[in-house]
Amino acid sequence: MDIIIVLVIITFLCISSFFSACETAITAASKARFHQLAKDGDERAIIIRHFQQNLSYAISVFIGCNIMLNAFAVTFTTKLCITAFGEAAGAIAAAIMGVIIWVYAEVMPKMLAIAHSESLLLNSAKFLRIVFNLSRPFNHAIHWIARKSVGLFGVKITASQVDYQASVEELRGAIDLHTGQNQDVAHEKAMLKSILDLGSVSVSEIMIHRKNVTMLDAADSINSIVEQVLACPFTRLPLWKDNPDNVIGIVNTKALLRAVRSHPDITDDKLTIESIAIKPWFIPESTDLLDQLHAFRARREHFSLVVDEYGTLLGIVTLEDILEEIVGDITDEHDIAIRGIRPQEDDSYVVDGSVTLRDLNRQLDWNLPDEDAATLGGFILYETRTIPQIGQIFSLHGFKFEIIRRQRNQITMVKITKDDLKLK
């Protein structure tokens, strides 16, 4: 009889170990991996994916089975100890089983589950589904009691309380932990993080400022406009009339060349630049890059004009600008290469004031705050609350900024050095 009880205890402990391992495996297993397996039609992966999507219920089942089995194991062990130890049987059985459960029903199975979570879940999927279905009514009752008990303390828990920000940060952490033999892993990480940032970056942070935009005057002759178009590397140019803030259209160089070809005499009054230009597309400066990317795709356009709340033209943003936020600079044979960041022999950097803080942080792996200013020059003006003189040095956020060049009130060149003696 005692042998049968021992076998029952061992059976309970083995099954308890299994559920303990499943409890750890369901949280340690890759959700992305099982999502892909389920998408490929693996029935077992579909079952596990369902458990992962209802994680609290799945863990509740595993813990419930684990507790019940351990309780029965302790009960039968106490029965065995009664004949040998009398009144002390309960305490002795609890001590013995506590150690055994700790080692063999908790620690050891969880260690194995972490190392083999995927294979454990796939091989056990169909059995777990049976257990899950059988315990569903009891599990729902337990959850109802738990929610009501929590409600007594004024805490409300709903299924909609999903922390989106936590999910994004988890994804960022996964990107940081990504490793590989490819030498471009760092660049891949930067690209993935840039995709996550699209919804939090406005077009005003990446736009080309109006002073750097090549524009056409509608009052110029067709000959003059053709010469200006041929002299610049851009395919789309804003067209203004009366004053530069009054943009009346966008000139596509291909459309202009087709129109010129169809009119041998380009001095003909029938050919006007306004008839060639297309309607301009204005967007507010607060538009985030993700929305703008969707808008570019929906409208099948690549070019937009950025305006502030008063309708004043601030600059332009193109599809290429947004793509460069993800993949880095895209330079073709017509681009004018401008190096805005120049490393020096003394480990400092000479940087153009127009370089954006996002580009600076991304290229040099720095962490300068970019919430209140878009460019390096704007950052210094905002932080110092003054228009600095040439030669002035400022210690900001762990770096020394030396003003090298200034044009009127605009900072055009800065020398940046890491400040080893950070100001307290």
Q: What is the tens place of the pLDDT at every residue in 147-167? A: 778 777 776 655 444 455 556
The whole-number average pLDDT for the span 250-254 is 93
Cβ proximity of 363 and 376 under 8 Å = no
Per-residue pLDDT at 279: 95
Cβ proximity of 393 and 415 under 8 Å = no
Cβ proximity of 376 and 352 under 8 Å = yes
Q: What is the pLDDT of residues 325-345, one digit of tens each?
A: 887 766 554 444 445 788 888
How far apart, in Å, are the Cα atoms of 75 and each of 11, 17, 57, 91, 324?
Answer: 14, 17, 27, 11, 67
Per-residue pLDDT at 162: 45
Give me the amino acid identity at 75: T
Top-confidence range, 180-194, 201-215, 296-310: 296-310
Q: What percent of the chain has pLDDT over 90?
A: 38
Average pLDDT, the chain: 84
- Alpha helix positions (H), 329-421: 357-364, 376-384
| Range in 58-72, 98-112, 189-203, 375-389 with the lowest mean pLDDT | 189-203
**Structure tokens belonging to residue 328:** 């880095």
Q: Which residues pair with 303 in a beta bridge?
A: 318
Instruction: Quote the CA–CA distance of 422 and 10 in Å, as a whole number.
Output: 63
The closest of 413, 424, 404, 348 to 377, measured between CA atoms, is 413
Q: Which position has the token pair 């991996």?
A: 33
Per-residue pLDDT at 335: 46
Per-residue pLDDT at 161: 44
- Res. 11 pLDDT band, cuts 50 70 90: very high
Q: Which residues pair with 208 in a beta bridge?
A: 316
The whole-number average pLDDT for the span 360-377 is 85
Q: Given a cut of 90, is residue 241 above it in pLDDT?
A: yes
**Structure tokens belonging to residue 326:** 């993800």
pTM reported for the whole predicted model: 0.57
| Range in 53-57, 320-324, 378-382 with the lowest mean pLDDT | 53-57
Would you give the distance in Å from CA 386 to the centre of its chain? 35
End-to-end Cα, the chain, rounded Å: 76
Q: Given a cut of 90, is residue 215 above it in pLDDT?
A: yes
- Give me the phi and psi of 113, to 5 degrees please: -65, -40
Per-residue pLDDT at 424: 38
Per-residue pLDDT at 27: 87
